[in-house]
Amino acid sequence: MGVVTVRQLLEAGVHFGHQTRRWNPKMKRYIWGERNGIYILDLQQTVGMLERAYEFVENTVASGGTVLFVGTKKQAQEAVEQQAMRVGMPYVNFRWLGGMLTNFETIKTRLTRLRELEDMVNDGTIELLTKKEGLLLTRELDKLQRNLGGIRTMTKLPSAIWVVDTVKEHIAVAEANRLGIPVVAVVDTNCDPDVIDYVIPGNDDAIRSGALLTHLIADACATGYARRAARTSDDVVAEQAAAAAASTPSSESTEAPAAPAQPAAEPLAEWEIALQQEEAASAAAAAGASSAEADQADQAAADQAAAEPAETQPTEEPAPAAPQEEAQA
């Protein structure tokens, strides 16, 4: 099933454009026709291009990116704030300050100031000041919260921005184009689609239309978050399995584990070398003396054995001579 149906877009009035005398000729390819002096947008193209933008936003968030929601016109303020807060994304719905993207380092200093004032209010420090000082700081805090409250958690430039009414938010679009930040926007018949990376032809003036499209972009962010969380959990499981496999010894392997490498011995001093040489010489002399004594003992045993008379074997007596008479016979 697709991201949205044509019936849903019709019910929200997304197909209504501006009057025929207030149009941008570059939007001609997205216009279906004209009724009672009002252009009607081709919702078939809107559905296809909305699905393309939905996929881009989902992949951006899944890869760890953020999407800045921008809509300062009265019809879009509430929807932008609600949907951005629903998915934890930064938003601007009161006033776009020039340089909010191109001069973000300065904006970060104001965000730091905003957090400092909020901490003073939370811990009661502001109540210890004089009435005038407390009033001035309270006014400063209110102003910062109106202008920067939606981006208080933004620590770096966004990966993409979602814009409702590119004509009113032309400064935001120009800054994003200058920095190469992709722009996803609902583009009405009076807008220039060439400066938008992901065009969604639609009505940017009706409350229901802006709310529906902003809700769909927020859904894409939520889907991207879910994919990111699933991938992170899968990586954790894979790492745990790899660690368990590495710690379990293989039953096929019978080799003993390698002995840990011994640290290199420190060089010996000269007196230690001389002492070792003397000990080696003494050991060699002792070994030589022991060998000589053993040889002498062996020689003495051999001489003693030679001096003893050899045991004689009994000799056979000669047979007596036969009698002479028997010989003569």
DSSP strand pairing (198-201 vs 91-92): unpaired
Residue 103 confidence (pLDDT) above 70: yes
Q: To the nearest whole number, what is the mean pLDDT of the chain?
A: 83
The alpha-helical segments, DSSP class H, found in the chain are 6-12, 43-62, 74-86, 104-122, 131-148, 170-179, 207-247, 270-307, 324-328
pLDDT (tens digit, 9 = 90+) per residue, 174-222? 999 999 999 999 999 999 999 999 999 999 999 999 999 999 999 999 9
CATH class of the region 103-155: mainly alpha
pLDDT (tens digit, 9 = 90+) per residue, 289-323? 666 666 676 676 666 666 655 444 444 444 444 44
Gap between the Cα atoms of 19 and 39, Å rounded: 6
> For residue 142, what pLDDT band results from cuts at 50, 70 and 90?
very high
DSSP strand pairing (38-41 vs 91-92): unpaired
pTM of the model: 0.69
Q: Identify the pLDDT of residue 254.
A: 46
- The mean pLDDT value for 46-67 works out to 95
Residue 329 confidence (pLDDT) above 50: no
- The mean pLDDT value for 133-141 works out to 92
Where does CATH 3.40.50.10490 sit in the chain?
Answer: 16-101+157-231
CATH of 16-101+157-231 among 3.40.50.10490, 1.20.1600.10, 1.10.10.10, 2.60.40.420:
3.40.50.10490
Q: Identify the pLDDT of residue 2.
A: 75
Q: Identify the pLDDT of residue 245.
A: 74
Return the minimum-mean-pLDDT range out of 18-27, 158-167, 202-211, 295-304.
Answer: 295-304
Q: Identify the pLDDT of residue 73.
A: 93
Burial of 118 (0-12, 13-18, 19+ CB in 10 A): middle
Residues contacting 49, CB < 8 A, separation 6+: 198, 199, 200, 201
Where does CATH 1.10.287.610 sit in the chain?
Answer: 103-155
Q: Identify the pLDDT of residue 26.
A: 92
Q: Identify the pLDDT of residue 126.
A: 84
**Residue 249: left if φ>0, alpha if ψ -120 to 50, beta else—which one?**
beta
**Cβ(90)–Cβ(68) below 8 Å:** yes
